[in-house]
Amino acid sequence: MTARTNMKSRTAQAATATGETILAVRQLKVVFDTPDGAVEAVKGVDLDVRAGETLAVVGESGSGKSQTMMAIMGLLAANGRASGSALYRDREMVGLPIKDLNTIRGDKITMIFQEPMTSLDPLYPIGRQIAEPIRHHRGGTAADARARVLELLELVGIPEPARRIDSYPHELSGGQRQRAMIAMALANEPDILIADEPTTALDVTIQAQILTLLQSLQKRFGMAVVLITHDLGVVRHVADRVVVMRRGEVVETGTTRAVFDAPKADYTRMLIDAEPSGEKAPPALDAPVILQGRKVRVDYKIAGGFLKKSGLFTAVHGADIHLRQGQTIGLVGESGSGKSTLGRALLKLTPSSGRVLFDGRDISGFDRKAMRPLRRDMQLVFQDPFGSLSPRQTVGEIITEGLYVHEPQLSKAERDARAVAALQEVGLDPTARNRYPHEFSGGQRQRIAIARAIILKPRLVVLDEPTSALDRSVQGQVIELLRGLQASHGLSYLFISHDLSVIRAMSDYVIVMQGGQIVEEGETAALFSNPREAYTRALLSAAYSR
Amino acid sequence: MSDLAQMPVLAPHAPETRGRSLFALAMRRFRRNRAAIAGCVVLALVALFSFVGPLFSSHSYDEVFPSYVSIAPSLEPRPGADTLQGAMENAVQRARLRLDAFQVEGRSFTATLAADQPIDPRATRYIDRANEFDDTVVKETLEDGRKLVVEGRVTREYFPFGTDSNGRDLLVRVMLGGQISIAVGFLASLVSLGIGVVYGATAGYVGGRLDNVMMRFVEILYSLPFVFLVVLLVVFFGRSFILIFLVIGAVEWLDMARIVRGQTLALKRREFVGAAESLGLSDWQIIRRHIIPNTIGPVVVFVTVIVPKVILLESFLSFLGLGVQAPLTSWGALIAEGANNIQSAPWLLIFPSAFFVVTLFALNFVGDGLRDALDPRDR
């Protein structure tokens, strides 16, 4: 109990001192030693964190925003070196020995990460993991710590904390895991909470909840929050001040309002304007239906144990879909809603029941061999441009792979010519075909994946979250590319995404899925302006309220 | 050796803007690893010694020198100068002549023969008759033929590693043993690599019942005692070189299959495999074009572990007397022979085991280096 009152008084102190700078970073540099020589990831960053404020550090991937914070916390990879200065209440953190650093981190400055599943140890119950920093920094008995953990779990809004305290990370949902991470970070009532993309891995509705939680906790404890994010919607909603970073340098600093209303740097303006825009006109009414799904249902067998019955899990409950030539259907839903599974089932990549008609032919009963000639007409683009390209093949080999199957008569030179044409079409330098995927950025890789799909001149492309792993500005370019390709080849898209702004810009028809069922569908404009279902409204408000 | 095996992959014959593959990057890291490079150099030297060395030796591996049984290693030629002097004196005595001077230089000798009457030049035959001397010719005739200076060749042998109990040159036998051990090591590893990669990738990729059946089969093979299997095969087919590496390879692939299967299970959930499937590639095409190339990292590392293991296995078999058949030999067989003579002729054990140990060390350093290069944890 004494610890608790101590913390209260400290909290009060901090609250009165709002505005005082508690972390001053000056000329912070981070250099990584790589086989190609030293790479400067952070090139002299200055920033101040004031007590009790929310500071957003904004930038695209590779801007050095995370590495800045990692350097302050002494968490750089082994080949990284930090120089410069980071003063926390007059204590220099850069170059501090680990032992001294540990009196600050985990106690005064704590951190939460993007992916709560990987930042929690799967082998220990969450209660034990949350108790760890408390006992390390505060001492006390296990029983005291457990009481404190229960209090924290309640605070971060985990239902039934007394039961959940002994749960393992895999037993919690993504949102609950992130709440547990926050509880761990708050355990010692820090001065500064560094949140590195805390909501990126979560569904939109959960995102909103977590952000609200962070805000309320911040008010209550009077701590400063450093929010590292690429999502300007979040920034606008929660931050007091903004630091915009690009290529390891600070481009602009200011209050949120000032930065958003009158951005000084061109780069900031570009980021703000990068919200996907435009809309798609529906195809002609007499356009032929290219893909039709009737009562498509996907069941997964859950393997039984020794004394456990095997069960069935239904991922998609009888979905109907009509995709016309030149149309883009947006398929929206949270993770686990069955949207990707439906996409794969329609391409016959996953066993399903119900009927699928492609170009008027019933392909429901086709096996892999029968499907093979049809594959060239129906292509798939994946979310993760890092995982979807084989790391051991050159880009040329990757994109011509389809030709190898569907047009084996082509000579090597002809294949090469097709590869050049496809790369040019997606806006890449044709010399890229001799290089390997790891040499390209995320956006470029996604272009390669698109080139692989369109080289076969397909009629239908299923795009499974093609922009979700990309930065906003790159997203815009990929969307433009997809639109252009659709116009020039008359492609039909099935566009799967959880990002409503992208769906709105890309598709003319939207299907909303929840728990494997289609809950609502309709023309894009009508659905966005006048959603009927509560779930659709929740999605929309979560996405657009901020 | 393994660096030599990979050279063709590295050689870029393609256009100027060729990207650096993951493999090329790994090789860069590898080249910075001093211990691994030293291991490669040592391996190359040992291989050179074993395969090229015999060309520079006049002895063949099965040539028996009855007069030099179990001779200790020495850099001096055999027989020694004293022995030759004695032999020459004997020969000269038989010719009823006197030996005034005798010199040996390398493989030739010069002797001055003297007598009271002029000497018949045919007396050189007496000298030729001795085992040690050949091609004796008269060089000079002095004092009206009462003194002859003759020259000729001495049959002298070098045994820097000594000879074994049958009088065979140990140096050449160590070279031959190296040839066989290295060849068995690499061939058996290749056999296990071939079977294991294809088997493991197929089981892992196809999955389901086939996977179950295939992996249970592996486990059944695991449960058979290895030596028993080898004895059976040797009894059936007789001892032969090919059989040995087939047998060893056929046992070692089990580990390889398990490793590749595990890799494949992880790989087949990767999106690029899904992408290949949606392009319409068949299972076999996916295995060949996507699964196998991506398992190469762990596989290469595992091969460098297998090669020394196989060399050891072959040695073990040879030690038991089930390995290569005399007069062929391997390091293992040589070590076994040396172990029997450890008190009377320790060099028979020391030389082959020194080469063996050095090679195994080098292989392990190379293996460690490859593992670090292909699997950098901190990138």
pLDDT in tens, B108-162: 888 888 888 888 878 778 887 777 777 788 888 877 778 888 888 887 777 778 7
- Lowest mean pLDDT: which of A3-17, A531-545, B42-56? A3-17
Name the nearest CA neighbour of A337 among A468, A462, A211, A203. Answer: A203
Q: Do B19 and A78 touch (CB under 8 A)?
A: no
B80-104 mean pLDDT = 80
Give the pLDDT of residue A544.
62
Contacts of B279 in chain A (CB under 8 A): 375, 379, 401-402, 405, 452, 456
Mean pLDDT (whole number) for A23-31: 89
Q: Quick one: closest CA in B to A454, which residue?
A: B279
For residue B41, name the pLDDT band (cuts at 50, 70, 90).
very high
What's the length of chain B? Answer: 379
A-chain residues near B296 (CB < 8 A):
392
Structure confidence at residue B287 (pLDDT): 86
Rounded CA gap, A197 and A65, in Å?
10
B77-158: CATH, from 1.10.260, 2.120.10, 1.10.287, 3.30.980:
3.30.980
CA trace torsion A449, A451, A454, A460 (10° rounding): 30
Query: Does A101 score more than 60 pLDDT?
Result: yes
Residue for token digits 């059946």?
A: B213
Mutate to test the interface with B, among A379, A390, A420, A440 (most CBs of B within 10 A): A390
Give me the residue from A349, A395, A435 closest to B277, CB to CB: A349
Q: Chain B interface residues facing chain A, Cβ-Cβ under 8 Å?
A: 14-15, 17-23, 25, 28-29, 32, 270-272, 274-282, 285, 289-290, 293-294, 296, 378-379
High-pLDDT (> 70) share of chain B, %: 93
* Amino acid identity for residue B141 in this structure: T
CB-CB under 8 Å, A439 with B278: no
What is the nearest CA distance from A522 to chain B, expressed in angstroms? 29
| Integer angstrom CA distances of residue A295 from A16, A362, A490, B254 | 62, 13, 27, 46
Among the listed residues A498, A501, A503, A528, the one whose alpha carbon sits nearest the alpha carbon of residue A513: A498
Q: What is the pLDDT of residue A545?
A: 52
Question: Which helix (H) or strand (E) segment is A202 a member of?
Answer: none
CATH assignment of A280-296+312-377+459-546?
3.40.50.300
CB contact under 8 A, B272 and A394: no
Let me know if B143 is exposed, middle or buried by CB neighbors in 10 A (0-12, 13-18, 19+): exposed
Using CA coordinates, name the residue in chain A closest to B285: A405
Average pLDDT over residues A121-134: 86
Domain boundaries, chain A: 2-273, 280-296+312-377+459-546, 386-457
Could you tell me the two tokens for A325? 């030539």
Residue B138 exposure: Cα atoms within 13 Å on the Cβ side: 17
Interface of A with B in 58-87 (CB under 8 A): 77-79
- Convert the pLDDT of each residue in B221-252 to its tens digit: 888 887 787 778 777 877 777 777 777 777 78
For range A199-206, the mean pLDDT:
76
| Minimum mean pLDDT range among A422-431, A433-442, B275-284 | A433-442
Say whether B20 and A390 touch across the interface (CB within 8 A).
no
Chain A positions touching B280 (Cβ under 8 A) are 371-373, 375-376, 402, 405-406
Q: What is the pLDDT of residue B10?
A: 34
Substitution target from B278, B282, B287 for chain A, most A beta carbons within 10 A: B278
Count of residues for chain A?
546
Mutate to test the interface with B, among A301, A340, A380, A401 (most CBs of B within 10 A): A401
Task: Give the distance, in angstroms, between the CA of residue A384 and the centroid of all CA atoms in the same chain.
Answer: 10
Residue A304's pLDDT is: 59
Could you tell me the pLDDT band of residue B17, with boundaries at 50, 70 and 90? low
Digit-coded pLDDT (tens) for A137-181: 878 888 888 888 888 888 888 888 888 888 888 888 778 888 888
Per-residue confidence band for A511, with pLDDT thresholds at 50, 70 and 90: very high
Mean pLDDT of A206-231: 86
Strand order in the sheet with A241-246: A109-112, A192-196, A224-229, A54-58, A241-246, A249-255
Domain boundaries, chain B: 2-63+163-374, 77-158
Q: Which two structure tokens, joined as six digits, stand for A152?
A: 């924290």
**Per-residue pLDDT at B8:** 36
Residue B316 CA to residue A452 CA, distance in Å, equals: 53
pLDDT for the residue numbered A66: 84
What was the pLDDT predicted at B99?
Answer: 81
Q: Which residues of B fall within a CB distance of 8 Å from A393?
A: 289, 293
Confidence of residue B16 (pLDDT cuts 50, 70, 90): very low
- For residue A449, give the chain B residue with the closest CA: B275
Question: Do the domains A2-273 and A280-296+312-377+459-546 sit in the same CATH topology, yes or no?
Answer: yes
Three-state DSSP at A95 gives coil
Residue A466 has pLDDT above 70, yes or no: yes
A113 touches chain B (CB under 8 A): no
Please state whether beta strands A54-58 and A241-246 pair in parallel, antiparallel, or not at all (unpaired). parallel
Of the options 1.10.3720.10, 3.40.50.300, 1.10.580.10, 1.10.150.20, the CATH number for the domain spanning B2-63+163-374: 1.10.3720.10
Q: Does the distance separating the beta carbons of A435 and B281 come in below 8 Å?
A: no
How large a percentage of chain A has pLDDT more than 70?
A: 94
Could you tell me which of B353, B308, B306 has the C-alpha nearest to residue B332? B353
Q: Taking CA atoms, what residue in A is nearest to B29? A: A35
Buried b / exposed e over A55-65, threshold 16 CB at 10 Å, is bbbbbbebbbb
**Alpha-carbon distance B212 to nearest alpha carbon in chain A (angstroms):** 15
CB contacts, 8 Å: A438 with chain B: 22
Q: Any idea which of A126-130, A389-393, B46-50 has the lowest mean pLDDT?
A: A389-393
Predicted pLDDT of residue A306: 59
pLDDT at B5 over 60: no
Which of the two residues, A377 and A118, has the higher pLDDT score? A377
* pLDDT given at position A309: 64
* Averaged pLDDT score across all residues of chain B: 80
Question: How would DSSP label each residue in A8-65?
Answer: HHHHHHHHHTTTSEEEEEEEEEEEEEETTEEEEEEEEEEEEEETT-EEEEE--TTSSH
Nearest to A402 among B22, B25, B279 (CB): B279
CATH architecture of A2-273: 3-Layer(aba) Sandwich (3.40)
Q: Mean pLDDT over residues A334-361, rounded?
A: 86
Question: Could you report the predicted ipTM of this complex, rounded to two decimals?
Answer: 0.73
Q: Which of A186-190, A309-313, A406-410 has the lowest mean pLDDT?
A: A309-313
Tens-place pLDDT, residues B281-327: 888 888 888 888 888 778 887 888 888 788 878 878 777 777 777 77
pLDDT given for residue A172 in this prediction: 82
| DSSP H or E segment with residue B109 | strand B108-114
Q: pLDDT band at residue A546, thresholds of 50, 70 and 90?
A: very low
Q: Do A393 and B293 count as a contact with CB atoms less than 8 A apart?
A: yes
3-state secondary structure of A248: coil
Contact yes or no for A405 and B278 at CB 8 A? no
Amino acid in the structure at residue A459 = R
Separation of alpha carbons A380 and A396, rounded Å = 18
Q: Indicate whether this model's pTM tops 0.80.
A: no
Task: Of A79-83, A90-94, A221-225, give the range with the top mean pLDDT.
Answer: A221-225
d(Cα A1, Cα A35) in Å, to the nearest integer? 53
Assign 3-class secondary structure to A351-377: CCEEEEEECCEECCCCCHHHHHHHHCC
**A34: number of Cβ within 10 Å:** 10
Q: State pLDDT tens for residues B170-212.
A: 888 888 888 888 888 888 888 888 888 889 989 988 888 888 9
Residue entry with tokens 């505005």: A19
Transcribe A151-192 into DSSP letters: HHHHHTT-SSHHHHTT--GGGS-HHHHHHHHHHHHHTT--SE
* Chain B contact for A456 (CB, 8 A cutoff): yes
- Calculate helix-pair angle for A126-138, A174-186, nearest 10 degrees: 10
Distance separating alpha carbons of residues A345 and A326, to the nearest angstrom? 21
Report the gap between the CA of A19 and the closest CA in chain B (Å): 39
pLDDT higher than 80, residue A3: no
Q: First CA to last CA across chain A, in angstroms?
A: 39
